[in-house]
Every structure is written in structure tokens, then in C-alpha cells.
Amino acid sequence: SKMTVKAVKMPCTSANVYTKVPDGGWGWTVAFAFFVVEALTYGIIKSFGVFFNDLMESFDETNSRISWIISICVFVQTFTAPLSTVLSNRFGHRLVVMAGGLLVSTGMVIASFARSVVDMYVTIGIVSGLGYCLSFLPTVTILSQYFEKRRSLVTAVASTGECFAVFSFAPAITALKEQIGWRYSMLSVGVLQLGITVCGSLLRPIVIREQEEVKAQPPEESPETKYMLENEQTCTSIESIDSGVDITTSPSNVPGKTKAEPKSEEPKQHGQNPVENKSTPPAPKTKLLDFSVMRDYSFICYAFFGLFATLGFFAPSLYIIPLSRSLGIGKDHSAYILSGMAIAEVFGRIFAGWVLNKKPIRKIYIELICVILLSVALVAFPFASGFWGLMICSVYFGFMLGTVAGTHIPLLAEDDVVGIERMSSAAGVYVFIQSLAGLAGPPLAGVLVDTTKNYSSAFYSCAAGMVLGAVFLALVRPCKTGLCHQQQQQQQQVEESTAGPPPELPDDFIDMDIGKAENSGKGSDSV
């Protein structure tokens, strides 16, 4: 059946109604909106390292205390993910993302007037962090609903927005600081982030309403066959009142006017207007937040993967510039290293989306390979020396980071994890669990740097977390196939042992019932 779209009057405010997942259409607009939202959320977070040394000098603070700004921001962003899911299910994705854009911009603008690092904790950490959560998660969720066959590729390409942002924002903000200072540069970034509100207005909701097809009526069975099937299905005597079979049913009385005749007309009535009949029953009430995914062992393992892998997502981008400065590399060249990482991440995301779009392929295993290679990249940073050594490590890390960062949330929609039906709630719970690592990761790296006086320790901590994440990711598929099947087999064995064997019926039970009925009829005639 061809895909049909319900006509709407207001293209940017009404819902799109499809008979199946469109894999395009307005979804391309949503993909563009996601690209911009990625650039103005994660792109700014990853570019925040350009303000790192300025904040240390202005507030006279240590590495660990300045790192808490991004830590609190990431923690609030991930910890409030269930709130984002609840608000999206209640008020829709559009309003939530627009409100998130206002919070992000407000927090960054106020932070430009901060007088202490504590002010930064509140403005960027709490206010903007909440806005990041309300902006990012609903956008990636609704984008996954618009695509099915090309979901991995489109999501990966659209998620390159943050890479282009890091590539362009890092040198631009660095140059802007030389002209107007870090405060007005931060103010300009906050004003730019108002674009998230515009992108939120483009997130038109989608409704998938399957069209009921008129099924061809099977050829009418012979009267004697109907009679035999009725007795076999009831497995009771025709004298029983609860048998569901009319007393008058016999090979000579079944044809024509039977009680099964009205049932044969129902498909014709449904076939006259399938859309109206399909929409007649009330739609089931959607749960605001479904925590039933926590009973799924595969999801639990995947959540622990996200928990430990988050340790390696933000710290390298945050500490690559201080590491390069400690090796005697200038400010401009340090910004180029961060930009090179961003460019490589673009290609990594596109490559991962292209590979995961191939069928048949077990996507969870491809993700595992990428996580292992990403761990190797984190270990390589401390052995780099000079500009080109750091550039090679950054490019390699950026490419592998792109393969993981652009696909780990969309993979929740795969059947190996939870599936598309429960992705909305699963994404909220998944990101919520990530919040612990988002809070502890950068400060832990900062403490190690302050203790060892060496930035290499920050990368070692990230690599350790990524290795633990790879272990849990390797357990996702076995938990889905092995443990689940074992539980089902155990339940079936218990049910079979308690139910007992089914009763055996004689082959001639129909003849026995008919003979019994005829004998009782003769007895009544003789009386």
C-alpha cells in the first residue's frame, strides 16, 4: 500500500499523519533542526575548553573547580532526562525544545556577568544544563520516529552538527576573545543559542496510523465440514448448554441460515471505511514515563555501558587544549588541534551511520568494535609529543568518538536493546543513568591532574571507563538472547508441570454424542 499523508492546514503546527514510517518527508526538516540543535548544545559544551584558562586566571581557581562547571552542566542535563521525557509526552516535543532553548540562552548570557565560579555553577551548570536536556533529547527522539530504514545514517549525519560547531566555534571564539574578551564572547554565544528555539518550532509531531486492509473472504466450507469443526472446537457434548453449538446443528440442518452468518458480514462492513473504523476505538493512554525497561537485562547492561563510556566523552575535549599548552604549543595551534578532532568526528559519524545502515548486520557488535578502538585512542594521548603527535591522536580519537557518540542513543531503538516502541522512555532512563558519570568524570580527571601535575592522568581515567563500558556492551546481546530465552523456557516448564496432561478424547466422540441424542429422542417418543 502506498504511503498517504493526511492533509493539514498549518504546516508548522499540525501533526503529520502517515500510514507507515515515512523515511523522509518532513523528517528531513526535523533532521536539519537536529543538526542545528546539536551544534548549539553539545558543540558549545565541547568548545567550552577555550574558556578554561581564562576562567582559571579571572577567578584564580584550580583545574578541578573550573571542571565542575561542565560537570554540573552535564549532570543536570542527564539527570533531568526523565523530566524531559515526561514533559515531551505531556506537552509535545515542540514546546519542550523551545523552552529548553530559552533556558540555554538565558544561562549563558547571565554567566557572562558572573563574578565567581559559584555563579558559573548556577548559570551554566543548572540553568543551561536543564535547557540542554530539554533541547537535545526530545529532538533526537522525534527524529528516530520519522525514519526506520535510514534511521542510523540520517541520525549520524545530523549529529555531525556538534562536530562542525567545534570546528568553527573553537577558532572563532579564540579570535573573538582577543578582540572583545571572554565575557563578551560568552555573551555572544548565549545570544546565538536562541536558535534552538527556532529549531524547536520545526518539530512537527508524527502519528503513524496503519490502514486496515480488506481481507479476501475464504471460500465457504461445506456444511458437513462446518459441523465437524464446531464439534472439534467445543470438545463437548451437543447436549451441553455451554457448548456454544446449536442443538439443531446436524449435517442436514446446517446449510443456509446459521448463527455464523452474521459474523461473515463483519469484514464487509469494516472494508467499506477502514480509516474510520480504525480510529473509532479510543487510543490507549500513553505513559508519561515507563520504568519497565529496568526489568530488561539487556537494557541494564546497555545503561552501564553508557554510564562508564560517558567518562571518555567530555574530558578529552575539555583537556586537549591545556595538554597542548603544557607541551609548549601556542594558543592558535591548540585550537587547530581541537578543530582537527571535530573534523575527524564528522567523518566518524557518517562512516558509522553508513555501516550501521547496511543489512543484514548486527549493529551492537559494530558498536562494540568502535568502543574498543576508542579506548585505544584514549591511551595513545599520553604518548604523543609535539603538535603533529597530538594532532594525529586527536584525529584518531575524533573519528572513533564519532562512531560511538552519534549512534549510542539511536541504538536504543534496535530490538537488541529495547525497540522503537519503548525508545522514548528508555532514552530518558538511559541518559539519567549517564548523569552519574557526567557529574564525576571531569572533576575526577581534574583531581588527578592537580595531584599528579600531569594531564596524561585525565586521559588514563577516561580510557579505564571506556574499557569498562566495552565489557558491559559485550553483554547486551547475550542477555537478550540467552537469559531471556532461559527464563521463557523455565516459565513454560513450570506451566506444563502444573497444568498436567490434556484430557484424551475418543476418536468417535461425535458419533457417541449423536447416538446418545438419537436414543434419548426415541425414548421420549416411546413415552
Predicted confidence (pLDDT) per residue in 494-520, tens digit: 666 666 555 555 555 455 555 555 555
Name every residue whose Cβ is closer than 8 Å to that of residue 208 and which is 6 or more positions away in sequence.
Answer: 18, 19, 20, 21, 145
Task: Give this prediction's pTM.
Answer: 0.60
Tell me the average pLDDT across 145-161.
81
CA atoms of 102 and 105, how far apart (whole Å): 5
Name every residue whose Cβ is closer than 8 Å to that of residue 210 and which is 6 or more positions away in sequence.
Answer: 19, 20, 278
Tell me the average pLDDT across 98-127.
93
Asked whether the predicted pLDDT for residue 367 surpasses 80, the reply is yes
**Per-residue pLDDT, 261:** 43
Question: CA angle at residue 81 from 316 to 409, to 5 degrees?
Answer: 60
Instruction: Fold for 289-496, please state it.
Output: Growth Hormone; Chain: A; (1.20.1250)
Tell me the average pLDDT across 353-378.
82
Nearest to 97 by CA among 55, 127, 60, 142: 142
- Mean pLDDT check: name the lowest of 113-122, 165-174, 380-389, 490-499: 490-499
Which of 2.40.10.10, 1.10.10.350, 3.30.365.10, 1.20.1250.20 is the CATH number of 17-210? 1.20.1250.20
Structure-model confidence comparison of residues 487 and 270, the more confident one: 487
**Per-residue pLDDT, 491:** 61
Handedness of CA 397, 398, 404, 405 (dihedral sign): positive
Domain map (residue ranges) of the chain:
17-210, 289-496
Q: How far apart are the first and last CA of the chain?
A: 66
Tell me the average pLDDT across 49-59.
86
- Mean pLDDT across the chain: 74
Instruction: Please provide the DSSP assignment of 385-420 as one string.
Output: -HHHHHHHHHHHHHHHHHHHHTTTTGGGGSTTTT-G
Asked whether the predicted pLDDT for residue 453 surpasses 90, the reply is no
Structure-model confidence comparison of residues 110 and 206, the more confident one: 110
Is 17-210's fold the same as 289-496's? yes
Name every residue whose Cβ is closer than 8 Å to that of residue 527 and which is 6 or more positions away in sequence.
Answer: none
pLDDT tier for residue 327 given thresholds of 50, 70 and 90 = confident
3-state secondary structure of 328: coil
Tell me the average pLDDT across 262-285.
44
Asked whether the predicted pLDDT for residue 425 surpasses 90, the reply is no
| Percent of the chain that is helix, strand, coil (3-state, to 5) | 75, 0, 25
Tell me the average pLDDT across 180-193.
92
Percent of the chain with pLDDT over 90: 13
Structure-model confidence comparison of residues 438 and 392, the more confident one: 392
Yes or no: say if 174 and 336 are a contact pair by the CB < 8 Å rule: no
Asked whether the predicted pLDDT for residue 467 surpasses 50, the reply is yes
- Mean pLDDT check: name the lowest of 79-83, 123-127, 235-239: 235-239
Asked whether the predicted pLDDT for residue 342 surpasses 70, the reply is yes
